[in-house]
Amino acid sequence: MAIEIINKDNLVNSFSSYKEVVIIIIVIHNLIELYVNLRQLNRLKGDRKMPEFLKKLDVTEEDFQKGRYYKKDKLEFGMIVDIVKTVFETLLMVFYYQPYIWNYCGEILANMNLESGNEFYRAYTFFLIETARSLIIDTPLDWYSSFVIEEKHGFNKKTTKIFIYDLCVSLALKIGFTFPILYGFLSVVDYGGDYFFFYVQVFITIVMFVMMLIYPNFIAPLFNKFTELEDGELKDGINKLAASVNFPAAKIYIVDGSTRSSHSNAYFYGFWKYKRIVLFDTLLKQMTNEEIYAILCHEMGHWEKNHFWINIMFVFAQIFSMFYLFGFFRNVAEIYLSFGFSDKSTFIGITLFSMMYTPISFFMEKAHLSMSRSNEYEADAYANNFGHSKNLQEGLIKLNKENSSDMDPDPVYSLFHFTHPTMLERLTALDLLQKQKN
């Protein structure tokens, strides 16, 4: 994992084109996002009245306006942050900030009597410096999001102590896990030679599945308390539901989500016959047992239709395509020189190429969102087949009301950003399924 110094003798003395292309890509991508966000912001602002269809769903004018104001505040803040960050990061690129820090890392290692030409040492030092920079910038933004925006709309339940605890634990986990993963990644690329993309795919697959085992069992409990659901009507009903659809539910947990937010959720994790169902305590307060069964039946529909594996395969395809294409640029010295680097490094190379890959990742991301929305329709249909359509509809309405969701978003915005169909789209589809069933 040694860093290769670039020999400039046989290269054309013009290396600005790659950086210019990346800057153009960044500008175009952010202009598209800005246009989409402005469409949504325009829909959220002003004296927009509640659409007629919502009045038929037991949604009050207060519920509708509350969701609009919450989403407007979040979107305005997010747009300002995105614009400032984009301009700032672009200026850093123009003025060769990254190569300066990369070279500075070499000096730090030399002063510590460590091998400055060792790619892993320098890459990890670079990561630590960038993590510190992100911490300084993002911490005030996260604080404002939680203690101003979320607090204003009644969702924040964090205390300053919890905020600091979450920040410190997240930082420690990030630093700790990056060390072996970065070392393994660079070693695999070095070992793989011309076919490194295949070995990287295998390595990332292993890391992802290991993290899927580690996260719910060891990391999530660092942030929340998980308690087994007590015996009673709800637990009996969930077990009965799981048995009726052959879902291998091993245990059912309640998580104290209310310690940090009043938002609600439900999910399951685990492989094969060791599935664990997790319910947020906020969900139990907001819904009836029948509505919880309907939502869980929807989640079990994802399992029955193999949506987890379909999503995993899509992510793997994205990863493979990026690293396969990176192979064609990996040793192009002009790319590194155009950004101000005087040596070739896999770590820097993939960082630069990921920006060049943005147009492809943009379209793949939109395709993934479309697939995700289609999966939600399938899971809804699955719940409908087991007679949970009405309770699922009522549960969806409550979820949207309690979480102040945007009940009437701009169609282009939802197409670009939503992993789920809008509430109206899902309710309409469920109505149609009920009519077909009857």
The residue assigned the tokens 């680097």 is 341
- Specify if 205 maps to a domain: no
Contact 397, 359 (CB under 8 A): no
At residue 273 the predicted structure's pLDDT band, cuts being 50, 70 and 90, is low
The stretches of 275-388 forming alpha helices (DSSP H) are 281-286, 289-304, 307-329, 333-338, 346-356, 358-385
CB 217: neighbour CB atoms within 10 A?
13
- Specify if 425 maps to a domain: yes
Average pLDDT for 8-29: 77
What confidence tens digit (pLDDT) does each residue in 351-371 have? 999 999 999 999 999 999 999
- Which are the contacts of 81, defined by CB distance < 8 A and separation ≥ 6? 141
- Specify if 30 maps to a domain: yes
Average pLDDT for 323-333: 90
Tell me the residue range of the domain where 408 lies.
Answer: 4-154+303-437
The residue assigned the tokens 């945007």 is 406
CB 170: neighbour CB atoms within 10 A?
14
- Specify if 278 maps to a domain: no
What confidence tens digit (pLDDT) does each residue in 179-227 have? 999 999 999 999 998 899 999 999 999 999 899 888 888 998 999 898 9
CA distance 357 to 363: 11
- Specify if 363 maps to a domain: yes
The pLDDT of residue 431: 85
Furthest-apart CA atoms within the chain: distance in Å: 78
Token pair for 410 = 């701009």
What confidence tens digit (pLDDT) does each residue in 377-424 have? 999 999 999 889 999 998 988 888 888 888 889 999 999 999 999 888
Enzyme catalytic residues: 299, 380
Contact 186, 119 (CB under 8 A): yes
The CA-atom distances, in angstroms, between 97 and each of 100, 104, 163, 217 are: 5, 10, 31, 40
CA distance 301 to 111: 58
* Average pLDDT across the chain, whole number: 89
- Specify if 11 maps to a domain: yes
The residue assigned the tokens 């701009």 is 410
At residue 16 the predicted structure's pLDDT band, cuts being 50, 70 and 90, is low
Structural domain total, the chain: 1
Percent of the chain with pLDDT over 90: 54
The pLDDT of residue 229: 85
The pLDDT of residue 1: 63
- Specify if 65 maps to a domain: yes
Edge-first strand order for the sheet with 226-228 is: 226-228, 249-255, 275-280, 266-269
- Specify if 277 maps to a domain: no
Average pLDDT for 244-259: 83
List the one residue out of 166, 170, 103, 88 whose CA is nearest residue 341: 103
Asked if the model's pLDDT at residue 263 lies above 90, the reply is no
